[in-house]
Chains A and B, each alone.
Chain A
Amino acid sequence: MKHRLALGLALLLLLAGCARSSSAPAATPPSSATGAGSAFPLTITDDDGEAVTIPTEPQRIITYAPSMTEILFALGVGDRIVGVAGAFDDYPAEAQGIEEVGGAGDFGVDPNVEKVVALEPDLLLTIAGGDAWKKQLRDLGVPVVTYNATDFDDLLADIGAIGKVVGAPDGAAQVVEGMQATADDVAATAETEGRVSCFFEVFFGPELTTIGPNTFIFDLLERAGCDPVTASAKSDYPQWSVDELVADSPDVYLATPESAKSVAAIARRPGFADIDAVAEGRVVLIDSDLVTRPGPRVVEGLEQLAAALHGSA
């Protein structure tokens, strides 16, 4: 019980942002005007299925997810962020000085509602989860908008939608264009290099935990040119038996600095030496921020993954 809880929490923190619901965002500006000033009031239906009306272009925004912070800075409206969740909002460097509103609730993963209200935000942007505090904030008059990217295409659509919500549609179009171009390059490389099999480690100890086929990371891996051996998983972050891993013996083994101290430490684990990837030295630690945060930097994650998979750094 305790372990399950701890594991769940760690997953929540590590993977905040890779998600379940797959509803596509729908933006419906009431007027057809294209000028930035005339797009408001704007009513959208977010990924929680909530219809939210944003009366004017948001100027005091709270982001409650590091990915949202990164997206707003990429759209060029980072200076409008008046509050972020916490220490995880560490990119870009400008984000580090912003007031932190997170860390409340029994598990320390909820925003401090008083602090949020005191900042008088006109928009709070976040990802899935936390229905209770979201409802409380809505009742207090804070417009809460949820976008939850389920895969790369969904992320691009979300960035477009967020661009409309914050009144920066042109910046969003540019960001999306750039990300799509990089993803296309990576896909082209994957095509010529041929596909490999891989395993992505989320967690090792107390149990080996990996990713299921409906997660954001799974989609990134496929785009980078590999087929995770965990495609049959029923849940998003399943525990995986080492026996099965050794039997499947993937070509490439991917982990993060949070899940394993070093490549050598992975090789020393009982049974791991028999995995092809370990035997052939194709174990790579990936910067988890680049693959677990559905933000503009996932294309860097894609490039890193592609390099790891095809053995060219």
Chain B
Amino acid sequence: MRPGGRRYRRVLIALAVLLVASVALAVAVGAVWIPPATAARLVAWRVGIGSRPDVPHSTEVILFQLRLPRVLLAAVVGLGLGVSGALFQGLFRNPLADPAIIGVSSGAALGAVAVIVLGGSAAFGGLGVSFAAFVGALLTAFLVYRLARIGPTVHVATLLLAGIAVAAVISSAMSLAMSFAGEDVRNIYFWLLGGLGARGWTSLEIVTPLVAVGVLGAAALVPDLNLVSLGEERAAQLGVDVDRFKTAAVALGSLLAGAAVSVSGVIGFVGLMTPHVLRLVVGSDHRRLLPAVMLAGPAFLILADLAARTALAPQELPIGAVTALLGGPFFLYLLRRERRRANALA
């Protein structure tokens, strides 16, 4: 399988069009309709091209301070979760692996909840909770990784088991913390179900560099990732330093997921589903998979967030519920289709 190919190129172009269309749509739709053309002219005017379109001041505020940062944040979080999922699925050679599986998501949530309950939300200029979530994610990943490392070797099966066990301990710790939370339960609820509202540009400024580093690192790992996907022994025979690779993959995957969770709370299914679905479409060569995930992850989360804030407007739905609701049935459909195809071939 070569990375190129006409069909693959068509898939990439389709995904790119989907991404641009979802940005345009998500910027346009809301309590106030902002035509994409008007939005484009406003953005152009802001960066010094052309004149300001004749719109009320409130339109400008809504576009630049509410919608644009929200849509871009959805894109960056979707990118981080998608690439993180692709990394973990490749590493574990398990299509059902995702950032949650090594406890990263629950670690992040616990970090956030701990700070909320202990009353440190105002630290770091109001970003104490995000910071704690990020630290929680990395600490959990490190702990799970240490538990799974015996001598120089990291056993993938042990990593998986340690992840599940640590996640279980964390979730009970969280239930405990919540019973002491009192009026803060609302804030905690947000971290458990995820959300992208009311975040503004600050979150975006923090999370973007982290996700960029993670994505670049993941891209550098792609050749080894392909080899490790075939089996650790074969990869080692082909000259891959498997232990170093695993360390790097866990670190980058956790960095990506931790950064995403730290600004959006736990949003499930994106890291699991995006790479999985695309693997069914473009195959499991990570050279082909990763670019596709980088386009589809953001588009998926932007559309999920759009659905979350418009489906039952003015009430907003928890985005985690939307991603599962949108993603789940589609995922099942693809699985079923694959099985039919396999049956037909057999």
Contact = CB atoms under 8 A, between A and B. Distances in A.
Interface of A: 1, 4-5, 8, 100-108, 112-115, 117-120, 132-133, 136, 139-141
B61 A103 contact: no
B186 A102 contact: no
Given A1-B178, A106-B195, A107-B186, A117 B62 contact: yes
Which of B195, B314, B315: most chain A Cβ within 10 A?
B314
A105 B316 contact: yes
A106 B188 CA distance: 11
A104 B57 contact: no
A120 B57 contact: yes
Given A5-B185, A117-B66, A133-B198, A112 B61 contact: no
B314 A115 contact: yes
A114 B198 contact: no
B30 A114 contact: yes
A112 B31 contact: yes
Interface string B121-165: 000000000000000000000000000000000000000000000
B58 interface: yes
A-B complex: 5 closest residue pairs judged by Cβ atoms: A114-B31, A115-B31, A103-B314, A112-B314, A108-B315
Nearest to B67: A114
B5 interface: no
12 contacts: A8-B185, A103-B315, A106-B190, A112-B314, A113-B198, A114-B32, A114-B66, A117-B62, A118-B31, A118-B56, A118-B58, A140-B65
B107 interface: no
A117 B186 contact: no
Contacts of A114: 30-32, 62, 66-67
A114 B66 CA distance: 7
B212 interface: no
Nearest to B57: A120
B58 A113 contact: no
Contacts of A100: 314
Interface in B251-289: none
A118 B314 CA distance: 14
B315 A104 contact: yes
Which of B32, B178, B315: most chain A Cβ within 10 A?
B315
A104 B314 contact: yes
Contacts of A139: 65, 200
Which of A102, A108, A114: most chain B Cβ within 10 A?
A114
B122 to A, nearest CB: 11
Nearest to A120: B58
A108 B312 CA distance: 10
A133 B197 CA distance: 10
A106 B58 contact: no
Given A101-B314, A118-B62, A106 B186 contact: yes
A42 B212 CA distance: 48
Contacts of A132: 198
Contacts of B178: 1
Interface in B1-40: 30-32
A246 B247 CA distance: 66
A120 B56 contact: yes
Contact of A112 (B179, B193, B200, B313): B313
Contacts of A101: 314
A292 to B, nearest CB: 20
B189 interface: yes
Given A101-B314, A118-B31, A106 B189 contact: yes
Contacts of A103: 314-315
Given A5-B185, A103-B314, A118-B59, 13 more contacts: A8-B185, A100-B314, A101-B314, A105-B315, A106-B189, A106-B195, A112-B31, A117-B58, A117-B61, A118-B58, A120-B57, A136-B198, A140-B66
